[in-house]
Amino acid sequence: MFERLYVMLMKEFIELKRDRWAIFRLVVPLVLQVVIYGYAATFTVNHVATAVLDLDRSQASRNLISHFAAAGRFDIVDRTDDERRITHDIDTDQATVAVLIHPGFEQDLNNGRSAALEVVVDGTNSNTALIAAGYVSQIVAQFEAENSTDDRRPDTQVAPRTVTVSLQERPWFNESLDDRWFFIPGVIGTLTLMQVMSLTAFAIVREREVGTLEQVMVSPIRPFEFILGKTLPFFLIGLGDIALVATIGVLWFRVPFVGSPWIMLLGACLFLLAALGLGLLLSAFSRTQQQAFALNFFLLNPLFILSGFAFPISAMPKVLQWLTIINPLRYFLVVIRAVFLKGAGIDVLWPDFAAMAILGTGMLTLSVMRFRKSLD
Amino acid sequence: MNGRRLFAIAYKETLQVCRDPRSLAIALLMPLLQMALLGYGVSLDIKNVSLCVYDQENSQTSRDLTSRFVASGWFEAVHALDSDRAIRQAIDRGTCIGALVIPVTFTKSMSSAGKANIQTIFDGTDANTTNIATGYAKGVIAEALTDFKNRWAQAHGLQPDAIGQIDLQLRVWFNAGLESRNFIIPGVVAVILAAVGAQLTSLTISREWERGTMEQLISTPVTAFEVMLGKLVPYFVIALIDAAFCLLVTIFWFQVPFRGSVTTLVMTTALFAVVVLGIGYLLSVRIRSQLGASQIALILTMLPTTMLSGYTFPIDQMPAPVRAVTFLVYARYYVSILRSIFLKGSSLADLAGPLLGLVIFATVIAYLAAIAFRKRLD
Q: Greater confidence, B134 or B357? A: B357
Q: Are B42 and B184 in contact (CB under 8 A)?
A: yes
Q: What is the pLDDT of residues A76-91, one digit of tens each?
A: 888 888 888 888 888 7
Interface test with A, best of B303, B323, B333, B341 (most A CBs within 10 A): B303
Interface test with A, best of B62, B91, B313 (most A CBs within 10 A): B313
Cα(B309)–Cα(B323) distance, integer angstroms: 10
Residue B16 — very low, low, confident or very high, per pLDDT cuts 50/70/90?
confident
pLDDT of the residue at A151: 46
pTM above 0.90, yes or no: no
pLDDT of the residue at B23: 74
Q: What is the CATH number of domain A48-149?
A: 3.40.1710.10
Does B249 score more than 70 pLDDT?
Answer: yes
DSSP structure string for B79-120: EEE-SHHHHHHHHHHTS-SEEEEE-TTHHHHHHHHSEEEEEE
pLDDT of the residue at A353: 92
Helix (H) or strand (E) holding B366: helix B352-372
DSSP structure string for A235-269: HHHHHHHHHHHHHHHHHTS-----S-HHHHHHHHH
DSSP structure string for A42-78: ------EEEEEEESS-SHHHHHHHHHHHHTSSEEEEE
Q: What's the whole-number mean pLDDT along residues B37-41?
A: 81
Cα(A2)–Cα(A14) distance, integer angstroms: 18
DSSP state of A313: G
Does A160 score more than 50 pLDDT?
Answer: no
Does A165 score more than 80 pLDDT?
Answer: no
Q: Are B215 and B295 in contact (CB under 8 A)?
A: no
pLDDT of the residue at B69: 82
pLDDT of the residue at A161: 47
Q: In what order do the strands lie in the sheet with B115-123?
A: A164-172, B115-123, B98-102, B49-55, B75-81
Q: How far is CA B99 from CA A8, A168, A170, B92, in A?
A: 55, 12, 10, 12
pLDDT of the residue at A158: 45
Of B169, B316, B318, B327, the C-alpha closest to A77 is B316
Which residues does chain A have within 8 Å of residue B121's beta carbon, measured at their own beta carbons? Answer: 170-172
Q: What is the pLDDT of residues B131-155, one digit of tens each?
A: 777 777 777 877 777 777 777 667 7
Does B240 score more than 90 pLDDT?
Answer: yes
What percent of the residues of chain B are helix, what percent strand, and what percent coil, each to the nearest 5?
Answer: 65, 10, 25
**Domains of chain B listed by start with CATH number:** 3-43+179-372 (no CATH), 49-155 (3.40.1710.10)
Residue B163 — very low, low, confident or very high, per pLDDT cuts 50/70/90?
low
3-class state of residue A116 by DSSP:
strand
Q: Do B173 and A122 count as a contact with CB atoms less than 8 A apart?
A: yes
pLDDT of the residue at B266: 92
What are the residue boundaries of the structural domains of chain A, listed by start?
Answer: 25-41+190-375, 48-149
Q: What is the pLDDT of residues A242-292, one digit of tens each?
A: 998 899 988 988 888 888 899 999 999 999 999 998 988 888 888 777 778
Phi-psi region of B108 (alpha: psi -120 to 50; beta: other; left: phi over 0): alpha
Q: What is the pLDDT of residues A127-136, one digit of tens each?
A: 788 888 888 8
- Any idea what the Cα angle at residue B373 is, between residues B370 and B374, rounded to 5°? 125
pLDDT of the residue at A156: 43
pLDDT of the residue at B44: 76
Q: Do A165 and B46 count as a contact with CB atoms less than 8 A apart?
A: no
Q: What is the pLDDT of residues A351-374, one digit of tens each?
A: 899 999 999 999 988 888 887 766
pLDDT of the residue at B198: 81
Q: Please tell me which of A358-367, B155-164, B188-197 the model is most confident about, judged by mean pLDDT.
A: A358-367
- In this structure, the number of other CB atoms found within 10 A of the CB of residue B113 comes to 13
Work out the minimum CA distance from A131 to partner chain B, whole angstroms. Answer: 7
Q: What is the pLDDT of residues B44-84, one digit of tens each?
A: 777 667 888 888 888 888 888 888 888 877 787 778 888 88
Residue B194 — very low, low, confident or very high, per pLDDT cuts 50/70/90?
confident
Cα(A185)–Cα(A180) distance, integer angstroms: 9
Cα(A320)–Cα(A325) distance, integer angstroms: 9
A156 to chain B, any CB pair closer than 8 A? The answer is: no
Q: Which residues contact residue A22 at a Cβ distance below 8 angstroms, ignoring those fewer than 6 apart?
A: A16
Which residues does chain B have within 8 Å of residue A321's beta carbon, measured at their own beta carbons? Answer: none
Nearest CB to B114; choose among A114, A164, A202: A164
- Any idea what the Cα angle at residue A328 is, between residues A323 and A329, rounded to 5°? 100
> Residue A369: what residue type?
M
pLDDT of the residue at A320: 86
Q: How far is CA B135 from CA A138, B45, B120, in A?
A: 10, 13, 11
Does B164 score more than 70 pLDDT?
Answer: no
Q: Are B57 and B102 in contact (CB under 8 A)?
A: yes
Cα(B290)–Cα(A293) distance, integer angstroms: 9
Q: Do A159 and B179 count as a contact with CB atoms less than 8 A apart?
A: no
Work out the minimum CA distance from B347 to partner chain A, whole angstroms. Answer: 11
pLDDT of the residue at A157: 43
Does A149 score more than 60 pLDDT?
Answer: no
Work out the minimum CA distance from B142 to partner chain A, whole angstroms. Answer: 9
Lowest mean pLDDT among A249-258, A329-338, B292-301: B292-301
Does A152 score more than 50 pLDDT?
Answer: no
Q: Do B294 and A127 count as a contact with CB atoms less than 8 A apart?
A: no
Interface test with B, best of A165, A181, A207, A326 (most B CBs within 10 A): A165
Whether the CA torsion B196, B202, B204, B207 is positive or negative: it is: negative
In terms of DSSP bridges, do strands A74-80 and A164-172 run parallel, antiparallel, or are they unpaired? unpaired
Q: Do A134 and B316 count as a contact with CB atoms less than 8 A apart?
A: no
Residue % of chain B over a pLDDT of 90: 10
Q: Do A123 and B168 count as a contact with CB atoms less than 8 A apart?
A: no
Does B366 score more than 50 pLDDT?
Answer: yes
Q: Are B253 and B39 in contact (CB under 8 A)?
A: yes
Mean pLDDT (chain B, rounded): 81
Q: What is the pLDDT of residues A302-322, one digit of tens each?
A: 888 888 888 888 778 888 889
